Amino acid sequence: MARSTAGGFGTGTEGSEPTERRWLKRLGLRCARRRSARTYITGLLIALLLPMLVFSAFAMFRMSERERLADRRDLESTARALSAVMDLKMEKAVAALGALAISHALEAGEIPRFYAKARQVAAAHQGWILLANPDGMGIFTTREPLGRPPRLLKSAAIVRTVVQTHSIQISGVFVGATSTVPQVSAYVPVMRGDQVSYVLLMSFNMRELSQALLDQNLPPDWTVQVMDRGHHVIARNRPMDASEPIAEWSPPEGARDTFIVRDDRGEEAMAALARSKFTGWSLAVMIPRSEIYSPFYRSLAELGVSAGVLLLLGVAVAALIGRSIARPMRGLSVAAAALGRGDPLPSIATPVSELHDVMTALAAAAGQLREQSRERSAAEAAMRRSEQRFRDIAETSGDWIWESDTKHRLTYFSKTSSDVFGRDPRELLGHARWEFDTGNDGEFWAAHRSTLEAHLPFRQLRYSLIGRDGKTVHYCVSGRPVFGETGEFQGYRGTATNETEAVEARAKVERAETLLQDALDSISAGVLIFDADDRLIMANEAWHQIYRTLISRDLDGDSSIGKTFEEGLREGIAAGQYAAAVGCEEEWVAERLRLHRSGTVSLEQQVGDRWLLMIDRPMRNGGVAGLRVDITELKRAQAALQASEERLDRAQRIAGIGSFELDVASGQYTWSKEMFRIRGFPEDAPQPTMSSLVRTIHEEDFPKVHAWLKQLREGGEPSAVEFRIHRPDGEERIINSEGRAIRDDKGAVAKVIGTAQDLTDARRTEQARQELERQLRHSQKLEALGTLAGGIAHDLNNTLVPVVAITKLALKRAGEDAQMKQYLGLIKDAGDRARDLVKRVLAFSRNDRAEKREFSIADVACEALAMLRATLPSTIALVSDIRPVPTFVGDPTQIHQIVVNLVTNAMHAIGGNTGTISVSLTPMIDPARQKPATIRLVVSDTGCGMDEATARRIFEPFFTTKGVGEGTGLGLSVVHGIITGHGGTIRVESRPGHGARFIIDLPTASDERIPFVAKAPAA
């Protein structure tokens, strides 16, 4: 409500001009536009600051130009330095290839050894090496196993250029025949005289070259790329994918040193170009222009911020000064306007007395005006508050207010929106509710009309009507009768609520619950839903069937609904269905509850004679959803499968045959347990792959195993292959393997299955059998020779007896005849030597049996060594290690003869050279009984040694390596006969040029240990 006061400035409008301007016109005052004092002060401050800011901007621009010139020079230096890095990598590769080119293995044609060395060099340079002949045929590459057939290189033209020019060549980017990855190569000729016999090349893929740039730790927004002579990008300062196509890039035509280009992100960049004289490649370094100009922009921004701050400070100072001048004057205008509107006058403090007097007069006038309008304003305000209170309640309430007359016809609605009624509310005015109802029968409205006729209040009457859009609208109405001042009935007044959304929501919930229950009942597995209190609120029919079958056989219906998870567990324990809980019920229940409430659980549990897979998952409302799957048949199948696998494992272990299955596509093996045992791996080791088994195959047998497996993978049917392997513990075994290819539906080989058998023990048994047969034949030969030699020796001995006896008698009767004595002495010496020979033959034939007794071998060995030490030449040293040993039962003379024969044989083996003869006697302890089992006598020398063929025959009678007249060949045969006659064994270890070592093992006299102190041999 607008009001005005005579003589004041009102707030009403006439046209579009403000009231203050109209009053000025009425008074004849000019309304010219004038600026405030603060505006003039601010302009003066800006005029002072502006020249200083312009000069700062000019100085900053000149300084940024000098910085950009320095940046260009740094960019050119960086390009040259990075180009040198790429040259260094290729120079190292060329140097490594040059070192390989003069390798002795390559010169000698030892390709496998040269291949191994080339792999080491290639690994050190993160590349791969290829050896090619002058025609460009690749002999091998370190990326593939040795033995692949030669193939023509795609870079054969460069190889021929190297051959023709005898010079090093650096290629551009290309895709080779042995790799689908783009690569660059360095080519080095291998010279033999004036001819090129081979060409070595080291290749790098673009990712490895890019790594050299990545290692420089350049800023991430810099772009560095290397181009070959054909302008192909071969390296970047960011990782390059092997599948990335080969890009091309060339500098703008006429570009020199530094120039402007667009980088791979499409941004303008300052670029510098450096070209390598060694490789012929170009290297470009690109820095975004934004980075180069960023110092200038940053300085400009700093200048702008500084200027803005100065201007703000100046404006603030100007505002303070202007405000101190203009505030008292403006206060008068504000006070006059407030007086015109009837508002309280503001309190203005001013040091000007005239202004103070004017403000005092205005305050007095304002007081009078307020007193006059206070009474009228109070009445109007009370009415407005009452009306507004009713309006706010009616408009903001979710319900609406209605009224009806004495005939119960609707006369008023607080809301007129059709969204509330479903139709125009004016259609309802003048009509009763039952005239529009479609959802209730006559009895419903008859009862309601009885209430209305009785003038009784009613609450929550629910009915529905059809809206204009054809949809049903649901209402809930409450009302009470209205009576006049004299008590006459005037109608009803009440509230109504649109419940359509709530009714439809309840219907949707009911339909959703029905649909959910039907869906759950269609699932064959048991489904449970627990609320936040862990009570079962929903379950499908499958769970009810499981519950009735396993937990409560005598109960029908939904017997588990409403029970907590813990109550269900304890019911199962009481029914005896949880065998795992017997004897530890509380602990079992606590652990099961912990798993259930932990948030996520999936476990297999036996309930009675059935197995259930139990899965629990938390829900957002704090409840838990569970799934119970009967996996009894699956568990039985697993048990049957496990039993079958155990039977197969037992059968394979008994037969000593393992089985394997190879997936051709992935190269993954699947081994049986016996296969793990045969190959020496633990049974819990991961299944191997083809690549992991390569190093376990003996290097000499790998080619045939590779060819056998290749034939199987190609669908062939090769015969069994026999090869050697190295177990993880280093033991070498012999394996026999058979295989068969399995094809898929398309006819391609998908798998290779086969068996493997360890033949090591069988081979060793066969070797042992052959050795026993050889020893048997040797023994039979010795026995036959011994029998023959014994007969001859007896006859010869009978012949020599009269010769020796008569010679001795003739010597006694020869008198002083010296010549006769000389002749007879020669005859006697020859007879003695013949008799000694007969004794040896008899000893060999074992016909001359000696009497055995218990004695100390150590004593006999010390006596024999003391005697022999004096007979050995000074060039031969005799070293003895005689330790206390148990007593021995045998012939001391024959043992003495063993020592003498072996030492003498060692002396002959050394001959006139300087050497050493070592004799040791030690007890061999049985670990099980901790007592001596045998006595070991070892005689070794540093003589000429012998080969394997000679070592097999040295114990044969009459076999000797000495010249005619130097030996009879019976010494070692006699030693062999003596040792075997005493129940011992003898063996020899020897190699040509490394001496010989005779090892003799003799049985002890008893199980008791009999210590003694051995006699030291005389010096």
At residue 3, does pLDDT exceed 50?
no
pLDDT bin (cut points 50, 70, 90) of residue 341 is low
What is the model's pLDDT at position 555? 42
What is the model's pLDDT at position 938? 94
What is the model's pLDDT at position 1019? 33
At residue 850, does pLDDT exceed 60?
no
User: Quick check: helix, strand or coil at residue 346?
Assistant: coil
Q: Which of 34-38, 57-61, 360-364 has the lowest mean pLDDT?
A: 34-38
Higher pLDDT pick, 859 / 607 = 859
Q: CB under 8 Å to 278, separation ≥6 — which residues?
A: 87, 90, 91, 170
Q: How many CB atoms lie within 10 A of CB 439?
A: 12
pLDDT bin (cut points 50, 70, 90) of residue 635 is confident
- For residue 696, give the nearest of 662, 733, 661, 669 by alpha carbon: 733
Q: CB under 8 Å to 803, separation ≥6 — which residues?
A: 827, 831
pLDDT in tens, 390-405: 666 666 666 778 889 9
Higher pLDDT pick, 887 / 544 = 887
Q: CB under 8 Å to 750, separation ≥6 — which residues?
A: 663, 664, 665, 742, 743, 744
What is the model's pLDDT at position 394? 62
Q: Which of 107-121, 581-595, 797-811 has the lowest mean pLDDT?
A: 797-811
At residue 1008, does pLDDT exceed 60?
no
User: Quick check: helix, strand or coil at residue 666?
Assistant: coil
pLDDT bin (cut points 50, 70, 90) of residue 478 is very high
DSSP state of 940: E
Query: Is the separation of the CB atoms in 979 and 898 below 8 Å?
Result: yes
Q: Which of 85-99, 259-273, 742-756 has the lowest mean pLDDT?
A: 259-273
At residue 455, does pLDDT exceed 70?
yes
What is the model's pLDDT at position 920? 94
What is the model's pLDDT at position 5? 40
The average pLDDT across 727-736 equals: 87
Per-residue CA distances from 458 to 474, 478, 479, 517 (Å):
17, 6, 6, 39
Q: CB under 8 Å to 400, separation ≥6 — which residues?
A: 394, 413, 414, 415, 420, 495, 496
pLDDT in tens, 675-701: 888 888 887 888 888 778 888 888 888
- For residue 858, give the nearest of 906, 923, 916 by alpha carbon: 923
Q: Which of 523-532, 680-689, 1007-1016 has the lowest mean pLDDT?
A: 1007-1016
pLDDT in tens, 355-374: 566 667 767 777 776 776 77
What is the model's pLDDT at position 939? 93
What is the model's pLDDT at position 1004? 84
Show the DSSP H helices in 166-288 as ranges.
206-214
What is the model's pLDDT at position 342? 65
Residue % of the chain over a pLDDT of 70: 76
Residue % of the chain over a pLDDT of 90: 4
At residue 844, does pLDDT exceed 60?
no
